Amino acid sequence: MSLAPPLHPAATADAARAAAPAQAAGFWQTPWRMPQALTVVVAAVGIGMIVQASRPAVEVALPPPPWNWIGVFAPLVLLLGAGRLWPANGLLASLGGIPLAIVSVLAMALIVLPAAIWPQGADAPEWLHPFGFDHVFSSFPLAAATALVLINLAVSSGRRLQSLRAPDVRYQLVHVGLLLAIGSAAAGTASLQRVQIPLVAGGAAAAEGIRGGATIPLPFDVRLDRFDMTNFAPTLAHAVRPAGAPDADYTITAGSTLLAAGATDTIGGYHVRVAEYLPRAAVLAGKAVPFDHPGTGPAALVEVAAPRGETIGSGWLHAETEWGGELFLRLPDESVLLLARPKPRSFHSDITLTAAGRTRSARVGVNERVRVAGWSLYQLSYDEAAGDASRLSVLEAVRDPAYPFVALGAWLCIAGCIWSIASAAQSAPSRLSRPEGRP
Amino acid sequence: MNVLIPSALWATAGLWSAGALLGAGEWRGGAAAPAFARASRLLALAGLVILAVLIAALWTNLGRAPLRTLGETRLWYALLLPAIALTLEWHLKTTALRLPMLVLGLVFVSINIARPDALDRTLMPALRSTWFVPHVVVYISAYACLGLAFAFSSATLLRHAVRRTTPAPGDVALPALLARIGVPFLTLGLLFGALWAKEAWGHYWTWDPKETWAFLTWGAYLGILHGATPARLSPRATLGLYTAAFAVVLGCWFLVNYLPAAHVSVHTYAMPPAGSP
């Protein structure tokens, strides 16, 4: 009994390949097998490497609109149509076949592998610079491999546009979805605009953004009314410091957020009692004093005892702010007890937008973008040193005409993947045969 | 929680150790094999229930989904391994996955016992999104499927090596099925992440080292899924690929946090960096 499911995509593709009549003789007999596909991919990537080696610092860039769209999608649509019209053609069967798919994807993976290990750009090791491996994601070798993947997707999708059987529709959802998403994202790099907008609360409205040191006019005004930030409760933490390392170099091992006068906890094996807690404090002469002001942080006076109960000492703990340096307790085993700086829970900017004569208020936060005049506004950063006292907010405005197509392709692929998972589960044989020795 | 977590992990480790021993006894065959099978299945299920309760308790205690740190994702992995394996066992009427699942699950539970996380209720603003849970759970589900494929394939290769026999075509059916489920889950994880990133940052893909490793994982298993057919590869080669490819999953999940490129990644797991929680 065959244990391979009947609708395995690779098995189906093998059958399709077998059905395509062999054409040409010798090494280049179509449809291609692995050696031929490998030769084509190596040749394409090799040409890319030669081009890159002749101009190491040059990055691949598409022409401006509309030529980016035409340059990417015209050939792909033609190939998809050709695959639909001549599915048995040897060359098209090769271009849309499994061997080319596997080799071209693996070629992409091998090309980007150095970037998975070492940093890119200015921080890249010197030996990565030849052939563009210091900026591999905009290099000619990767562009060549990606082009082959897109060609393969287009032709294979066209060849399967023969019927509306469930497996073929499922195939199209995944592969056409990927083709649309990847192709649109690639083409969209030439029409993508991204600028940063630094704003000060209560300051003037900005009608320009900054990109690469140049100011870019925007079709809207944005004014920062208020920057708001909430923090998590501070953490009383036990930390270890490697021998000989500077005081600032330590690793948190355990923590507690029980911070109130009288609270007790066991942290890192030590018994800790909070004798006094100040939600907002400044540091004077090595001691924390109450000081309710934006930008201040909490402080705690703690009493520490060893695991067996003997008193070790007491002292103030305070995380560094602009209103006082760090206060911590050094413990007998060279570990430390400290008050970690409260982490941000959320931060967002309340803004006023004016576009096309209309004014409205909006809130921009992380995971809360705002759309205006064809642009999307994102919360990029703030004055981290000032913390919740920050009056500076940096927004990023992005205009990406390709996004609707990328999203459409992604959702088509998502639908196909969910269907594939359900189909795999349903089509699995209800009982496996027992290979030798299997229970 | 400081008592519940280690207690639950030790209990699961104990149950699964016993389950693995019984599973090994079942594999040896004999009159007691059915009894061993039932007991092993019950012990696997009991461990799954304990982990589910633990994750629910963590979720309630932390006030956030326990999916932020490496330890928390290992917990989910240890939960989803038996969930998927036992589901397939019931559907396919086979117990072939149980022993590999128990051994692999035991490894991950043991790592969590040896390297406990410091409880931390914080969740950075970037992770406060409706995409957070689906993205991570889908990825861990993919890793669970591919981990089961690895465990089963390596166990099968080892068994044939010991017995000096050749893997049969039927030996690749289970890993192939797991890949046909796992690769779409991987794809979903990639796409969910891209859509989330676009919503949060305005970029769908930045070739962050974590994203690059995610692409490597996807590419590796895509190659196996499409290329490992009976016409192209022997069962031994296919099982070898499923065994070796899991290294890429581990690279994407764990190794990436320690590589030179990690310092430029925004995806490195919340291991406490020096000088801050």
A349-365 pLDDT per residue, tens:
999 999 999 999 999 99
Task: Report yes or no: A232 and B127 within 8 Å, Cβ to Cβ.
Answer: no
Question: The pTM is what?
Answer: 0.88
Q: How confident is the model at residue A162 (pLDDT cuts 50, 70, 90)?
A: confident
Point out which residues pair with A355 in neighbouring strands: A358
In this complex, the residue of B168, B181, B220 whose CB is nearest that of residue A421 is B181
The answer, for B185 touching chain A at a CB cutoff of 8 Å, is yes
Q: Do the chains contact at A346 and B128, CB–CB below 8 Å?
A: yes
For testing contact with chain A, the best of B41, B62, B88, B122 (most A CBs within 10 A) = B122
Q: How confident is the model at residue A9 (pLDDT cuts 50, 70, 90)?
A: very low
For residue B52, the distance in angstroms to the closest alpha carbon of chain A comes to 23
- Rounded CA gap, A327 and A299, in Å? 9
The top-scoring range by mean pLDDT among A56-60, B28-32, B61-65, B171-175 is B171-175
Of A172, A177, A182, A116, which Cα lies nearest the Cα of A149? A182
Q: Do the chains contact at A367 and B216, CB–CB below 8 Å?
A: no
Q: Which long-range contacts (CB under 8 A, 24 or more apart) does B84-90 make?
A: B84/B141, B84/B144, B84/B145, B84/B148, B85/B44, B85/B148, B86/B41, B86/B44, B86/B45, B86/B48, B88/A428, B88/B174, B88/B177, B88/B178, B89/B41
Burial profile A203-214: b = 16 or more Cβ within 10 angstroms, e = fewer? eeebeebeeeee
- Rounded CA gap, A393 and A419, in Å? 43
Q: Do the chains contact at B187 and A429, CB–CB below 8 Å?
A: no
In this complex, the residue of A343, A398, A414 whose CB is nearest that of residue B188 is A414
Residue % of chain A over a pLDDT of 70? 87
Q: Do the chains contact at A378 and B200, CB–CB below 8 Å?
A: yes
What is the complex's ipTM, to 2 decimals?
Answer: 0.92
- Quick check: B269 pLDDT over 70? no
Task: Report yes or no: B101 and B109 within 8 Å, Cβ to Cβ.
Answer: no
Span B177-202, pLDDT tens digits: 999 999 999 999 999 999 999 999 89
Could you tell me the maximum CA-CA distance found in chain A, to the nearest angstrom?
89
For testing contact with chain B, the best of A1, A8, A375, A426 (most B CBs within 10 A) = A8
Residue B214 is predicted with a pLDDT of 95
In this complex, the residue of B220, B273, B276 whose CB is nearest that of residue A109 is B220
Residues of A in contact with B185 (CB under 8 A): 417, 421
Q: How confident is the model at residue B44 (pLDDT cuts 50, 70, 90)?
A: very high
For residue A75, the distance in angstroms to the closest alpha carbon of chain B comes to 24
Residue B270 is predicted with a pLDDT of 45
Span B101-146, pLDDT tens digits: 999 999 999 999 998 877 777 888 989 999 999 999 999 999 999 9
Outline where DSSP puts E strands in A335-418: 336-340, 344-355, 358-365, 370-372, 375-382, 392-399
Calculate mean pLDDT across residues B23-49. 90
Q: How confident is the model at residue B247 (pLDDT cuts 50, 70, 90)?
A: very high
Residues of A in contact with B262 (CB under 8 A): none
For testing contact with chain B, the best of A3, A135, A184, A413 (most B CBs within 10 A) = A3
Of A290, A231, A282, A283, which Cα lies nearest the Cα of A257? A231
The top-scoring range by mean pLDDT among A110-119, A385-394, A422-431 is A110-119
Residue A25 is predicted with a pLDDT of 65
Calculate mean pLDDT across residues A184-198. 94
Could you tell me the maximum CA-CA distance found in chain B, to the nearest angstrom?
63
* Tokens at A409, concatenated: 């392709």
- The neighbour count for residue A426, using CB atoms within 10 Å, is 9
In this complex, the residue of B129, B195, B231 whose CB is nearest that of residue A407 is B195
Residue A325 is predicted with a pLDDT of 86
Q: Do the chains contact at B212 and A115, CB–CB below 8 Å?
A: yes
- Rounded CA gap, A394 and A378, in Å? 9
Span A246-279, pLDDT tens digits: 555 666 676 666 677 888 888 878 889 999 999 8
Give the SS3 label for residue A188: helix
Nearest CA in chain B to A138: B207
The answer, for B174 touching chain A at a CB cutoff of 8 Å, is yes
- Quick check: A123 pLDDT over 50? yes
Task: Report yes or no: B188 and B138 within 8 Å, Cβ to Cβ.
Answer: yes
Q: Which of residues 115-144 of B touch A (CB under 8 A)?
A: 118-126, 128-129
Calculate mean pLDDT across residues B29-35. 85
Residue A433 is predicted with a pLDDT of 46
Residue A126 is predicted with a pLDDT of 85
- Quick check: A436 pLDDT over 50? no
Question: Cβ contacts of residue B241 below 8 Å, gap of 6+?
Answer: B224, B228, B233
The answer, for B33 touching chain A at a CB cutoff of 8 Å, is yes
In this complex, the residue of A194, A235, A398 whose CB is nearest that of residue B277 is A235
Residue A434 is predicted with a pLDDT of 44
- The neighbour count for residue A438, using CB atoms within 10 Å, is 17
Q: Do the chains contact at B177 and A113, CB–CB below 8 Å?
A: no
Residues of B in contact with A435 (CB under 8 A): 168, 170-171
Residue A435 is predicted with a pLDDT of 40
Q: Do the chains contact at B185 and A417, CB–CB below 8 Å?
A: yes
Q: How confident is the model at residue B85 (pLDDT cuts 50, 70, 90)?
A: very high
What's the full length of chain B, in residues? Answer: 277
Residue A73 is predicted with a pLDDT of 96
For testing contact with chain B, the best of A252, A339, A394, A413 (most B CBs within 10 A) = A252
Residues of B in contact with A439 (CB under 8 A): 26-27, 29, 33, 37, 94-96
Nearest CA in chain A to B91: A430
Give me the phi and psi of B25, to 5 degrees please.
Answer: -65, -35
Residues of A in contact with B227 (CB under 8 A): 10, 98, 102
Q: How confident is the model at residue B210 (pLDDT cuts 50, 70, 90)?
A: very high
Residues of A in contact with B126 (CB under 8 A): 366-367
Mean pLDDT score of chain B, rounded to an integer?
90
Give the SS3 label for residue A270: strand
Give the SS3 label for residue B143: helix
* Tokens at B10, concatenated: 């030790």
Q: Which of residues 248-267 of B touch A (CB under 8 A)?
A: 251, 256, 259-261, 263-264
For testing contact with chain A, the best of B89, B148, B171, B177 (most A CBs within 10 A) = B177
In this complex, the residue of A106, A137, A431 whose CB is nearest that of residue B207 is A137
Mean pLDDT score of chain A, rounded to an integer?
86
Span A281-299, pLDDT tens digits: 999 988 999 999 888 888 9
